[in-house]
Amino acid sequence: MKKLLLILLIATIPLSAQFKEQPNSAPSIKSGILSGNSNSLFGFINPDNFSMHHTFNMSYTAAGSFGMALGAYTNSMAYKLTDNLNVETDISVVNSPYNSMNSKEFANQFNGVYLSRAQINYKPSENMTIMLQYRQLPAGSFYPYSYYGNNSFYGNNPFYRDNFFNDPFGRN
């Protein structure tokens, strides 16, 4: 009986609550992740000035009764430091998954990570560009008059791209 009386007493006690007004707008998830005062990472790297492309190439070479497959993944990155100065780099991972040659050392000399290209481009005026470039090309792969893709000298030359400093890869 005491328990029933206690339950009824608790149930009849008026409860008071505080009314809290709802905010006009819900907080966005983006504002919690990104700060609104800067677009740069660590105060130095601005992601708006960074471009990255990926390519993957597969090739097969046959000579007589021998054959060799070769795969290459290339990551091309560019960063615009100022309106007239940018840096570009190509980093490649090369692997030979199949080889019917008699020597594994022959195929293993192709495997590895390579800095294919590192380049600094400076454009002091509209009609002048200074380019400092380092390239590491496998023997026999450089033909400057090739019209097939960006592996040729002219494909990577900023003199032959429009809007060079608007888009480091010339996609404009």
Strands 66-82 and 128-135 turn out to be: unpaired
Give the tens place of pLDDT for each residue, 80-108: 888 889 999 999 998 888 888 777 777 77
Report how far residue 26's alpha carbon sits from residue 47's, in angstroms, rounded to the nearest whole number.
27
Least confident of 2-6, 26-30, 36-40, 89-93: 36-40
Give the tens place of pLDDT for each residue, 112-139: 898 989 999 999 988 899 999 998 865 5
The structure tokens listed for 14 are 């008026």
Query: What percent of the chain is modeled with pLDDT above 70?
Result: 60
**pTM of the model as a whole:** 0.56
Report how far residue 146's alpha carbon sits from residue 66's, in angstroms, rounded to the nearest whole number.
27
Q: Kindly report the number of other CB atoms within 10 A of residue 141's CB atom.
A: 8
Report how far residue 64's alpha carbon sits from residue 96's, in angstroms, rounded to the nearest whole number.
18
The structure tokens listed for 10 are 């608790």
